[in-house]
């Protein structure tokens, strides 16, 4: 599986095409984790996915010929497929049919190291599997024709379903225990300022932490390098801070994962300062910023101090701040005041103001700048604590 792959996605309007090509490029980067090769990327223009086969049957038939000629073992669709879509496509094409969600879950499973992240991922995998098993049962029932008749395989599916439900129950129980431990831990840390780093995967979150506190946490030019929330302490002017590295975001993140990673989210919720890290060189920058802002909104993490950090500025050849400003001007929801170093966005018609800083991990001066900003925020807001 995942050796020779074809990637398939959709786009609605002409203007969406580039963005959707980028999604496929992202899938290609994800496959690198398994050393998988991409033999073909296909984008079809349609308003909605076909209920039965996601893309049109004609195109599927063409792909089928290509699959047989080029030893393709897996086709990955950019959106989550239903059980019946997979079954229908499998009738036309002779290889493994899967989707972005399954690929991300497989990567998390492959890379998770700590006991608890393994539990969280197991839970996400079972959540992905359960509705599919239910459908598998319906599928067999239809094949058999009669209601009440039990065919071969049904019993096994029933048993699997029961086993999975039981596993979900026990995993939830174990994770609840873990969450309670976290709540106690964070109560014990009430006098310590907690900073969470959040952002898209590969933007440099872990590198920033390594530079700030002289650590040697794993950093790589790959997606999803950090899969365990990392809590580290450090001092600025003898004041103790805790800094938390979190799992990177990705567009179309599987809902099963969000559900399972509640304890990670709790760490973000309990932070006093959030550093929202952005790779200034990434494509569709505003899109990614809005995606994270919306995510925070959904979790009701909105009235926090958020410092937006534009990282990797050493990679921009000629650093042109106005270029960035123009990028923001195009968007009604979010804009930037370069002189005052603020980013604004709207939430329920209320203007939210966040500080921003520009930095690069190649330059210690910027790290000092970051430390200074963190400390200033602390002084402004947490004098009461002491
Ligand atoms: N040029 C340049 N590269 C950087 C900078 N900061 C980080 N990087 C590189 O970006 C890549 C990703 O860095 P990480 O720190 O692993 O990124 P991350 O956000 O922790 O990624 P995940 O753990 O996957 O979410 C690495 O190859 C870093 O060396 C920077 O300021 N400039
Ligand atoms: Mg990391």
**Index of the ligand 1 atom closest to the CA of residue 248:** 25
pLDDT of residue 116: 84
pTM for this predicted structure: 0.88
* pLDDT tens-place string over residues 37-60: 999 999 999 989 999 999 999 999
Confidence band, pLDDT 50/70/90 cuts, at residue 318: low
Do the Cβ atoms of 316 and 283 come closer than 8 Å?
no
d(CA 170, CA 123): 10
d(CA 377, CA 361): 21
| 252: CB partners within 8 A, 6+ apart | 23, 78, 79, 100, 101
Ligand 2 ion local residues (Cβ < 5 A): 206, 225-226
Residue 327 or 5, more confident:
5
Q: How far is the CA of 228 from the centre of ligand 2 (A)?
A: 9
Confidence band, pLDDT 50/70/90 cuts, at residue 186: confident
Please provide residue 220's backbone torsions phi and psi, each rounded to the nearest 5 degrees.
-155, 150
Do the Cβ atoms of 96 and 72 come closer than 8 Å?
no
Q: How far is the CA of 201 from the centre of ligand 2 (A)?
A: 7
Q: Is 201 in the pocket of ligand 1 (CB under 6 A)?
A: yes
pLDDT of residue 146: 46
pLDDT of residue 384: 54
Residue 279 has pLDDT above 90, yes or no: yes
Q: Is 63 in the pocket of ligand 1 (CB under 6 A)?
A: no
Q: How far is the CA of 139 from the centre of ligand 2 (A)?
A: 42
Do the Cβ atoms of 347 and 300 come closer than 8 Å?
no
Contacts 24+ apart (CB under 8 A), 23-30: 23/78, 23/251, 23/252, 24/78, 26/223, 26/250, 26/251, 27/76, 27/78, 27/100, 27/103, 29/222, 29/223, 30/103, 30/104, 30/107, 30/223, 30/224
Q: How far is the CA of 314 from the centre of ligand 1 (A)?
A: 12
Question: Mean pLDDT, to the nearest integer, of 54-67?
Answer: 94
Q: Is 288 in the pocket of ligand 1 (CB under 6 A)?
A: no
Residue 189 has pLDDT above 80, yes or no: no
Percentage of the chain beyond pLDDT 70 is: 92
Q: How far is the CA of 286 from the centre of ligand 1 (A)?
A: 19
Helices of type H across 70-203: 83-92, 100-111, 115-144, 154-188
pLDDT of residue 1: 87
Across 1-15, 25-39, 317-331, 360-374, least confident range:
317-331
Q: Which ligand does the CA of 210 lie closest to?
A: 1
Burial of 295 (C-beta count, 10 Å sphere; 0-12/13-18/19+): middle
Q: Is 312 in the pocket of ligand 1 (CB under 6 A)?
A: yes
Q: Is 224 in the pocket of ligand 1 (CB under 6 A)?
A: yes
Ligand 1 mutation target, pool 33, 110, 202, most atoms within 8 A of CB: 202
Question: Mean pLDDT, to the nearest integer, of 238-255?
Answer: 88
Do the Cβ atoms of 200 and 138 come closer than 8 Å?
no
| 86: CB partners within 8 A, 6+ apart | 97, 98
Across 2-11, 181-190, 238-247, least confident range:
181-190
Q: Is 311 in the pocket of ligand 1 (CB under 6 A)?
A: yes
* pLDDT tens-place string over residues 143-181: 554 444 555 566 777 777 888 899 999 999 998 888 888
Which helix (H) or strand (E) covers residue 335, if one does?
strand 334-337
Q: How far is the CA of 35 from the centre of ligand 1 (A)?
A: 20
Three-state SS at 128: helix
CA 221 → CA 106, 126, 140, 218, distances in Å?
A: 19, 30, 45, 10
Q: Which ligand does the CA of 250 lie closest to?
A: 1
Confidence band, pLDDT 50/70/90 cuts, at residue 67: very high
Mean per-residue pLDDT of the chain? 86
Residue 168 or 254, more confident:
168
Please provide residue 120's backbone torsions phi and psi, each rounded to the nearest 5 degrees.
-60, -40
Ligand 1 mutation target, pool 207, 221, 364, most atoms within 8 A of CB: 207
Q: Give the sign of the dihedral formed by CA 163, CA 169, CA 170, CA 174.
A: positive
Do the Cβ atoms of 179 and 263 come closer than 8 Å?
yes
CA-wise closest residue to 118 among 34, 177, 179, 175: 175
**Index of the ligand 1 atom closest to the CA of residue 219:** 16
pLDDT of residue 79: 93
Sheet hosting strand 273-279, strand order edge to edge: 230-236, 239-245, 193-199, 273-279, 305-311, 350-358, 342-347, 334-337
Residue 333 has pLDDT above 50, yes or no: yes
Which helix (H) or strand (E) covers residue 26, if one does?
helix 17-32
Q: How far is the CA of 247 from the centre of ligand 2 (A)?
A: 7
Paired with 279 in beta bridges are 311
Confidence band, pLDDT 50/70/90 cuts, at residue 16: confident
């Amino acid at each position: 599986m995942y050796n020779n792959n074809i990637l398939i996605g959709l786009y609605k309007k002409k203007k969406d095409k580039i963005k959707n090509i980028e999604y496929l490029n992202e899938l290609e980067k994800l496959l690198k984790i398994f050393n998988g090769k991409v033999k073909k990327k296909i984008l079809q223009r349609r308003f909605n996915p076909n209920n039965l086969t996601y893309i049109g049957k004609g195109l599927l038939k063409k792909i089928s010929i290509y699959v047989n000629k080029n030893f393709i073992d897996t086709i990955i669709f950019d959106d989550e497929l239903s059980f019946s879509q997979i079954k229908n496509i499998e009738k036309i094409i002779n290889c493994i049919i899967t989707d972005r969600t399954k690929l991300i879950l497989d990567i998390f499973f492959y890379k998770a190291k700590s006991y608890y992240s393994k539990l969280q991922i197991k839970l996400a995998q079972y959540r992905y599997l359960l509705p599919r098993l239910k459908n598998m049962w319906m599928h067999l029932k239809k094949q058999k024709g009669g209601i009440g008749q039990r065919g071969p395989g049904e019993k096994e599916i029933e048993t699997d379903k029961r086993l999975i439900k039981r596993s979900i129950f026990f995993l939830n129980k174990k994770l609840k225990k873990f969450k309670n431990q976290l709540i106690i831990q964070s109560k014990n840390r009430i006098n310590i300022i907690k900073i969470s780093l959040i952002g898209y995967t590969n933007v440099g979150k872990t590198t920033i932490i390594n530079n700030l506190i002289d650590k040697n946490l794993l950093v790589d030019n790959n997606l999803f390098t950090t899969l365990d929330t990392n809590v580290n302490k450090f001092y600025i002017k003898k004041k103790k801070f805790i800094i938390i590295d979190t799992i990177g975001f990705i567009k179309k993140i599987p809902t099963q994962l969000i559900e399972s990673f509640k304890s990670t989210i709790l760490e973000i919720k309990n932070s006093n300062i959030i550093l929202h890290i952005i790779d200034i060189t990434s494509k569709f920058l505003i899109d990614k910023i809005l995606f994270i802002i919306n995510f925070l909104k959904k979790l009701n993490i909105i009235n926090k101090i958020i410092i937006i950090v534009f990282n990797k500025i050493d990679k921009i050849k000629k650093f042109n701040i106005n270029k960035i400003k123009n990028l923001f001007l195009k968007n009604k929801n979010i804009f930037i005041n370069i002189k005052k170093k603020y980013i604004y966005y709207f939430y329920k018609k209320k203007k939210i103001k966040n500080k921003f800083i520009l930095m690069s991990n190649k330059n210690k001066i910027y790290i000092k700048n970051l430390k200074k900003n963190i400390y200033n925020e602390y002084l402004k807001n947490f004098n009461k604590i002491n």
